Amino acid sequence: MAWVEILIEVARDHAENLSDALMDAGALSVSVEDADEGTDAEKPLFGEPGMEITERAWERSRVVALADTDIDHAALVAEAAASIKLATVPSFTTRSVEEQDWVRLTQSQFEPIHIGKNIWVVPSWHEIPDPQALVLELDPGLAFGTGSHPTTRLCMEWLEAHAPSNLSVLDYGCGSGILAMVAKKLAANKVVGVDIDPQAIESANFNAERNQCDIEFSLPEAFGDTYPSTHQFDVVVANILSSPLKLMAPMLSGRVAEGGALILSGVLARQAEEVAAAYAPFIKLSVWQEREGWVALHGRRSSSNN
């Protein structure tokens, strides 16, 4: 079976409402793209963890609706436009979407990833390249962290180089749970993961069970109830972004036990100095490694920091 994509360029103010209206009118799915994608006017649109996105569409947005080939596409667009009271029915173009084995196509885009000296991240549909390695079975999903991003790799490689054997580990901003699982497979005796996104917690629990890792994952409020602010960990790792990392400097530093290690990533090389400055009153941080413009910062808490 083949489908048709209906492409409609609209102003930012109408993109979200038109998307909902198209779904109500019978579209199979709808997405919103930057109409200026690939040009000098292209504009990134994203938010940081814990911070509300203020813009949910672009100045010139392209709404892309997937529909069956045998329906009246003009009538679909007209019905959607009328339901949100647009003054005129927007013009649109269409393009065919041929039937494919979408599962096989998607799976072909994800191969096993070799990280550090002895870590492999392997999708469930692939054979394990090295059964003697530290292997994580992990499929791409909603939560961030499959080992493909430089910041995730940096944190995994730090953990491998400083194996937390018999130590406690806190993974703050755990995403898929990948760093927590690496710590557990490197013989950490207790691992706790925290994330603000309930879907991430669900994903992390699923991945931990699949990989036979005993890890506690929770939202920040539940984490605080179980582990009061005085509770500290031997290793604290946070792979987030620079802005929230700076805001959380007192809290994350306070979670590091005396002599314990703090590892931060999600930091661009040009941001390293300002992030380190935010933590300077608590823990002295330095760049451990840099990759593709990203860095991992690390440091240890001395008794004088208490």
17 vs 54: CA distance, rounded Å: 16
Q: What are the tokens at 2?
A: 């083949």
> Is residue 239 marked as binding?
yes
End-to-end Cα separation, the chain, in angstroms: 65
**Residue 152 counted as an annotated binding residue:** yes
255/236 Cα distance (integer angstroms): 7
Best CA proximity match to 172, nearest among 161, 183, 164? 183
> Under a CB-based contact definition with an 8 Å cutoff, are residues 205 and 13 in contact?
no
Q: Is 106 annotated as a binding residue?
A: no
Neighbours of 176 (CB within 10 A): 28
At 259, list the tokens: 């002599």
Nearest to 184 by CA among 219, 154, 212: 212
Sign of CA dihedral 178, 184, 187, 192: positive
**Pairwise CA distance, residues 187 & 168, whole Å:** 10
Q: Which of 283, 280, 236 is nearest to 255 (CA)?
A: 236
The position carrying tokens 């080939």 is: 69
Ligand-binding annotation for 266, yes or no, is: no
Binding site for S-adenosyl-L-methionine, by residue number, is 152, 173, 195, 239
Summarize the annotated binding site as residue ranges.
Answer: 152, 173, 195, 239
